[in-house]
C-alpha cells in the first residue's frame, strides 16, 4: 500500500513513469544544474570577461559530467542545503560551487556560478527545456498514437453505415468511419499547433534590465548575450520582462491542452454512448470484473476514467492560464508553487490518453445491431427524398415529407410506396428506392 497523497504517485505511479524525467523535483533540479553549468561555460567564452578565462577541454568535460552524472544523491544534497537556506536556487548555487570548485583549476572562479542572475533566470529556462522534452518524448507521441489508432479504426470500418442521432433523435445516416475521422481531424489541428509551439525564455537579472551584468561588465552587449544563450537552449528569447517570465507561453500551452482535452472528452462521451447503444461491443478480459454484484457487466471504464482525468487536467490548465500571466509589479512568488503542479496536470492528461487508447483496443462493431437500428428508422431518409424533390422543382417538397414522417413510425414498405407515387423520373425513383432497400 502506497503512502502517496496523490494517486499519480500511488495507484497510477507506474503509468506515469514516462513523465517523471520531466516533471519531478529531481528533474527540475537537474535542469537547473544544466542551465547554470551551460551559463558558466558561455561566460568563459566571452572575451571581455578576463576574470574567467576560457575553459580547457578537460574542464568542460568535467562540467558536463556534473550534468550527466546528476542523480538522486545529488538532488538530496541540494535539498539538504535548502533546509538551511530556505531557498531552492541558492541551495543549488552552493551545491554547484562545491562541485565546480572540485574541478582542477576552477576553484578560484566559482563566484561566476549564478553570476548576476536572479532565481527566475535559471528556473524559467529549466521549465522551458523540460516542457519541450516532455512534449517531444511523451505527450506528442502519446497523442499521435491515439490519432493513429482512431485512423486505423476509421479505415477498418470505412463502409459501415450508422444511424445518426441529432438532439438524441434518429437523423440522416452517417458512417462509423466519418464519425471517427471527425475526432482525428480535430486532434490533428491541435497537434499541428502543439508541434509548432515553443516555450519562451527570460534572461535579464533581478528586474529584467541586466543591471548587475552591466555594473560588472558595461562593455558587453548583455541583451545580445542573453538572446544567444536562450536561443541555444531551444527557447524563444523574451526582450522585455520584469523579474520573471510573464508565463504567456504556459498560458498558451494550457489553452492548447484544454482544447485537446475537450476533444478527448467529447470522444470519451461519444464512445460511452455508442457502447451503451450496443454499436460497439467491448472485448472481455479474462479475470476482469465489471461489477462487485452484477456478474454480467462489462463497463466502459476506460471512457469513464478518461473523462474524469480530463476534467482534473483541464481544471488545472485553466488555473495555469488564468493565474500564471499575472504577477504584482516586478514579481511576486505566487507563480512558483503553481508551476510545481505542471506535472500534475500533464499526469492526468496522460492518464486520460492512455485510458482512451486502451479502451479503443477493446472495441468491436456489432454490425447486426447497427443494421437493426437503420431498419427500424427508415424515416431518416426523408431528408434525401425531399432534397431530390426540390431538385425537380416539386412545390412543398419539405412539407410533404414532414406530414408523412414527422413524429411517425414509418416502415420501409410505407416509404417505398410513398416513393413509387412520386412524380419523378424513373431513374430518380430507382435511385431513391435503392437507398431505402
Q: How far is the C-alpha of 54 from the C-alpha of 223, rounded, in Å?
A: 21
Task: Let me know whether 394 and 352 are in one domain.
Answer: no
- Asked whether residue 292 is domain-assigned, the answer is yes
Instruction: Report the distance separating Cα 9 and Cα 294, nearest Å.
Output: 31
Angle, helices 426-435/382-391, rounded to nearest 10 degrees: 170
* Residue 184: CB atoms within 10 Å: 20
351-366 b/e with 16+ CB inside 10 Å = b? bbbbbbbebbebbebe
pLDDT at 401: 80
**Residue 382's CATH number:** 1.10.40.30
Q: Which domain holds residue 321?
A: 131-198+246-368
Strand duo 236-237 + 200-201: pairing: parallel
**Among 216, 241, 240, 213, which Cα is nearest to 225's?**
213
139 and 110 housed in the same domain? no
The maximal CA–CA distance of the chain, rounded, in angstroms, is 101
Contacts of residues 284-287 at CB distance under 8 Å and 24 or more positions apart, as own/partner, are 285/362
Q: What is the DSSP string of 132-148?
A: HHHIIIIIHHHHHHHHH
- pLDDT value of position 143: 98
- pTM beyond 0.85, yes or no: yes
Say which of 2, 148, 276, 291 is annotated catalytic.
Answer: 291
* b/e 90-128 (16+ beta carbons within 10 angstroms → b): ebbbbbbbebbeebeebeebbebbbbbbbbbbbbbbbbb
For residue 437, give the 3-state DSSP assignment.
coil
d(CA 295, CA 292): 7
Q: Does one domain contain both 306 and 399?
A: no
Q: Are 49 and 217 in contact (CB under 8 A)?
A: yes
DSSP 381: G
40 occurs within a structural domain:
yes
Q: What pLDDT is attached to residue 23?
A: 97
pLDDT (0 to 100) of residue 288: 61
Rounded CA separation 306/134 (Å): 20
CATH number at residue 29: 1.10.275.10
237 DSSP β-pair partners? 201
β-sheet bridge partners, residue 171: 164
Does 175 share its domain with 260? yes
228 CB-near residues (< 8 Å, 6+ apart) = 42
Catalytic residue among 14, 167, 292, 296: 167
Catalytic: 291?
Answer: yes
Domain-terminating residue out of 56, 84, 115: 115
Q: Can you give the pLDDT at residue 102?
A: 98
Do 21 and 164 share a domain, yes or no? no
Q: How far apart are CA 313 and CA 346, in angstroms?
A: 7
Q: How many domains does the chain contain in total?
A: 3
Per-residue pLDDT of the chain (437 residues; tens, 9 = 90+): 678 889 999 999 999 999 999 999 999 999 999 999 999 999 999 999 999 999 999 999 999 999 999 999 999 999 999 999 999 999 999 999 999 999 999 999 999 999 999 999 999 999 999 999 999 999 999 999 999 999 999 999 998 999 999 999 999 999 999 999 999 999 999 999 999 999 999 999 999 999 999 999 999 999 999 999 999 999 999 999 999 999 999 999 999 999 999 999 999 999 999 999 999 999 866 556 554 455 554 788 999 999 999 999 999 999 999 999 999 999 999 999 999 999 999 999 999 999 999 999 999 999 999 999 999 998 888 888 888 888 888 888 788 788 888 888 888 888 888 888 888 888 888 888 888 77
**Enclosing H/E stretch for 77:** helix 72-85
If asked whether residues 351 and 381 sit together in one domain, one would say no
Alpha helices in 361-436 (DSSP H): 367-376, 382-391, 397-405, 412-420, 426-435
Amino acid at each position: 500500500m502506497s503512502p502517496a497523497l496523490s494517486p499519480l504517485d500511488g495507484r497510477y505511479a507506474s503509468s506515469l513513469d514516462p513523465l517523471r524525467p520531466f516533471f519531478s523535483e529531481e528533474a527540475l533540479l537537474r535542469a537547473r544544474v544544466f542551465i547554470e553549468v551551460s551559463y558558466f561555460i558561455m561566460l568563459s567564452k566571452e572575451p571581455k570577461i578576463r576574470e574567467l578565462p576560457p575553459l580547457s577541454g578537460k574542464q568542460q568535460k568535467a562540467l558536463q559530467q556534473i550534468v550527466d552524472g546528476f542523480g538522486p544523491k545529488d538532488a538530496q544534497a541540494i535539498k539538504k542545503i535548502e533546509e538551511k537556506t530556505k531557498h531552492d536556487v541558492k541551495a543549488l548555487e552552493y551545491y554547484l560551487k562545491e562541485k565546480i570548485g572540485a574541478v582542477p583549476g576552477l576553484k578560484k572562479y566559482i563566484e561566476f556560478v549564478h553570476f548576476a542572475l536572479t532565481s527566475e533566470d535559471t528556473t524559467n529556462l529549466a521549465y522551458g527545456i523540460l516542457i519541450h522534452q516532455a512534449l517531444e518524448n511523451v505527450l506528442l507521441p502519446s497523442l499521435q498514437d491515439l490519432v493513429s489508432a482512431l485512423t486505423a479504426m476509421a479505415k477498418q470500418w470505412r463502409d459501415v453505415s450508422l444511424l445518426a442521432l441529432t438532439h438524441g433523435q434518429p437523423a440522416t445516416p452517417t458512417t462509423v468511419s466519418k464519425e471517427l475521422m471527425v475526432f482525428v481531424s480535430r486532434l490533428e489541428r491541435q497537434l499541428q499547433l502543439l508541434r509548432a509551439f515553443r516555450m519562451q525564455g527570460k534572461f535579464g537579472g533581478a528586474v529584467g534590465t541586466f543591471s548587475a551584468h552591466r555594473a560588472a561588465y558595461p562593455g558587453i552587449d548583455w541583451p545580445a548575450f542573453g538572446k544567444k544563450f536562450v536561443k541555444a537552449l531551444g527557447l524563444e528569447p523574451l526582450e522585455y520582462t520584469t523579474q520573471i517570465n510573464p508565463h504567456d507561453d504556459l498560458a498558451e500551452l494550457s489553452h492548447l491542452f484544454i482544447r485537446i482535452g475537450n476533444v478527448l472528452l467529447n470522444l470519451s462521451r461519444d464512445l460511452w454512448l455508442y457502447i451503451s447503444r450496443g454499436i460497439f461491443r467491448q472485448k472481455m478480459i479474462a479475470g476482469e470484473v465489471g461489477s462487485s454484484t452484477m456478474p454480467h457487466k462489462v463497463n466502459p471504464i476506460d471512457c469513464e476514467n478518461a473523462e474524469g482525468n480530463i476534467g482534473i487536467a483541464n481544471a488545472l490548465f485553466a488555473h495555469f492560464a488564468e493565474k500564471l500571466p499575472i504577477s504584482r509589479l516586478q514579481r511576486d512568488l505566487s507563480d512558483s508553487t503553481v508551476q510545481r503542479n505542471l506535472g500534475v496536470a500533464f499526469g492526468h492528461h496522460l492518464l486520460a490518453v492512455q485510458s482512451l487508447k486502451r479502451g479503443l483496443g477493446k472495441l468491436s462493431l456489432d454490425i447486426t445491431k447497427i443494421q437493426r437500428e437503420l431498419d427500424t428508422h427508415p424515416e431518416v431518409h426523408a431528408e434525401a427524398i425531399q432534397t431530390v424533390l426540390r431538385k425537380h422543382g416539386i412545390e412543398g417538397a419539405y412539407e410533404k415529407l414532414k406530414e408523412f414522417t414527422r413524429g411517425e413510425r414509418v416502415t420501409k414498405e410505407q416509404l417505398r410506396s410513398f416513393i413509387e407515387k412520386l412524380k419523378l423520373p424513373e431513374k430518380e425513383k430507382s435511385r431513391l428506392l435503392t437507398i431505402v432497400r
